[in-house]
Amino acid sequence: MNRLDETHDTKRVSWVPGAEPGSDFPIQNLPIGIFSSDGEERRAGIAIGSHILDLAAAADLLDPTWARDFAQPVLNSWLSRGPADHRELRLRLSQLLSDPGRRDAVEPFLVPQVEARMHLPCLIGDYTDFYVGIHHATNVGRQFRPDNPLLPNYKYVPIGYHGRASSVRASGQPVVRPSGQRKPPEADAPEYGPSRRLDYELELGLWIGRGNDLGQPIPIGEAAGHIAGYCLLNDWSARDLQAWEYQPLGPFLAKNFLTSVSPWIVTAEALAPFRKAIPPRPDGDPQPLPYLKDAADTEAGAIGIQLEVTLSTERMRAEGVPPHVLSRGSADSAMYWSAAQIVTHHASNGCNLQPGDLIGTGTLSTADDYGLGSLLEISRGGKQPVTLATGETRCFLEDGDELSMRGWCEADGAVRIGLGECVGRVIG
């Protein structure tokens, strides 16, 4: 995959404030995103410490031929350049932001993150959501089919479906409680009204870099070269709408009212030190079909990303009670299929992926109860409410609730990096 180089050197530090080891954005991270500040146009930036380096303004310090891509309001054209340019940008940034001698030249192009507004990093041509979190699939399947939670295709097919691109938003977007048809089992007919079972789903998002032509599958050995980076993704879900509408064509209005993503694209290069072997398939499970099998992917296809979800209610915030931790877990143990397998499967029929496409992994729950990725699982389908420090209880999200996801990577011999956060507050 991505070899380690000087940009991963644990001794390298940046002179930019807030970039100390332990932060989300040390010099070993350097995620790219789209920001605006002072009423100026949207443009590309890199997170470093508590600041953003304005890439559009600083292009001359890096490579002037990149300036046009960086000045655009979305990163699609930059992502389409592929891994070689992305690695080169990372190398030059790593040198620039660690060299005290360049501080005077660079400082004018740094914007404090607190003064900036983050936007969706890409114009998303298509958003696809997968279902590779096997513990989530098992937990949800068990609620419908106690004896047979996983369907026969699950261990052969990386299950996925198309989601809504128009309603993907960057972290911070308010969550307008959706209305829709809901029919409790005991009712004769459905009625239309606000969802009473509003939920979140903890996922990782993959941003596609280079695309493929229609009719041209992506071999598994080349899949990694099509993934530009990763983010956190919240697949907001209305469980009552979902239960009634989803047969036979899958979820639709239960999901497409909003999907939130953390705004920074943490690159495949930054994640290289945290790659690890995919856990072997459990005894009795089939091996992946040949088109999904690749030794390099098996050896380094999992990524050690730690995930945490917290909830704060209006009352908790008013009373100064800290957010309640709903889950803590690791992405790599949750994913039955790797990112490369997801990409290769998606294009295996000739479907064309495009730069800036977003792919969700599906909800990532751990095998134990500490890292469940949705309230549907935590509350056992709404039967076991969570009790908060205020005495309030929750089976699903109430108006005023704020949900926050965070992700980070830690490994021996590497500097911790963070994915930032993905936040949304429910409004009625």
Query: Residue ranges for the binding site for Mg(2+)?
Result: 235, 255, 259
Q: Which is nearer to a copy of itself, 108 or 290 (CB)?
A: 290
* Beta carbon of residue 354, minimum distance to a copy of itself (angstroms, whole number): 5
Task: Indicate which single residue of 12, 92, 117, 164 sits in contact with a copy of itself (rule: CB under 8 A).
Answer: 164
Q: How many angstroms separate the CA atoms of 359 and 206, rounded? A: 5
| Catalytic residue from among 51, 136, 226, 346 | 136
- The answer to the question of residue 200 lying near a copy of itself (CB under 8 A) is no
Query: How near is the Cβ of 348 to a copy of itself at its closest, in Å?
Result: 6
Instruction: Kindly state the smallest distance separating residue 188's Cβ from a copy of itself, in Å.
Output: 10
**49 touches a copy of itself by CB under 8 A:** no
- As measured in angstroms, the least distance from the Cβ of 253 to a copy of itself is 4
Judged by DSSP in three states, 180 sits in strand
52 vs 254, beta carbon nearer a copy of itself: 254
* Least distance from a copy of itself to the Cβ atom of residue 206, Å: 16
Q: How far is the CB of 208 from a copy of itself (least distance, A)?
A: 10
Which alpha helices (H) appear in 210-255, and where do they start and end?
A: 239-245
Interaction of residue 54 with a copy of itself, rule CB under 8 A: no
Hey, what amino acid is at 207? W
- Strand 168-170 with 259-261, pairing: parallel
Vertex 387, ends 422 and 328: CA angle to 5°? 40
Nearest to 173 by CA among 409, 426, 366: 426
What's the sign of the alpha-carbon dihedral 382, 386, 388, 390?
Answer: positive
Q: Is 136 a catalytic residue?
A: yes
Neighbouring C-beta atoms of residue 299, cutoff 10 Å? 13
Give the other-Cβ count within 10 Å of 235's Cβ. Answer: 25
The site map against a copy of itself for 267-296 (x = CB under 8 A) is: -------------------x--xxx-----
List the interface residues with a copy of itself, window 351-410 (CB under 8 A). 351-354, 357
How far is Cα 148 from Cα 175, in angstroms, rounded to an integer? 34
Please name the residue ranges forming H helices in 28-100.
Answer: 55-62, 67-70, 76-80, 83-96
- Number of other residues whose CB lies within 10 A of the CB of residue 384: 11
Q: Could you say whether residue 71 binds a copy of itself (CB under 8 A)?
A: no
Among the residue ranges 42-50, 65-73, 187-195, 322-330, the one whose residues contact a copy of itself (CB under 8 A) = 187-195
Contacts 24+ apart (CB under 8 A), 275-280: 275/1, 275/2, 275/300, 275/301, 275/302, 275/303, 275/304, 276/300, 276/302, 276/303, 276/304, 276/332, 277/301, 277/302, 278/302, 278/338, 279/332, 279/333
Residue 17 preceded by cis peptide, ω within 30: no
- Of 73, 217, 382, 385, which lies in the binding site for a copy of itself, with binding defined by CB under 8 A? 217
Site for a copy of itself in 79-118 (CB under 8 A): none
CB of 65 or CB of 247, closer to a copy of itself = 247
Binding mask 242-271 for a copy of itself (x = CB under 8 A): --xxxxxxxxxxx-xxx-------------
* The binder of a copy of itself chosen from 37, 181, 333, 390 (CB under 8 A): 181
151 part of the interface to a copy of itself, by CB under 8 A:
yes
When asked if residue 36 is in the footprint of a copy of itself (CB under 8 A), the reply is no
Q: What is the DSSP letter of 194?
A: E
User: Cβ 236 to a copy of itself, closest distance in Å?
Assistant: 11
Decide the pairing of beta strands 393-394 and 324-330. unpaired
How far is C-alpha 217 from the geometric centre of its chain's CA atoms? Answer: 24
How many chain residues bind a copy of itself (CB under 8 A)?
Answer: 61
**Interface residues toward a copy of itself, by CB under 8 A:** 125-126, 131, 141, 151, 153, 156-157, 159-167, 169, 176, 178-181, 183, 189-192, 214-215, 217, 238, 241, 244-254, 256-258, 286, 289-291, 345-346, 348-354, 357
Catalytically annotated residues? 136
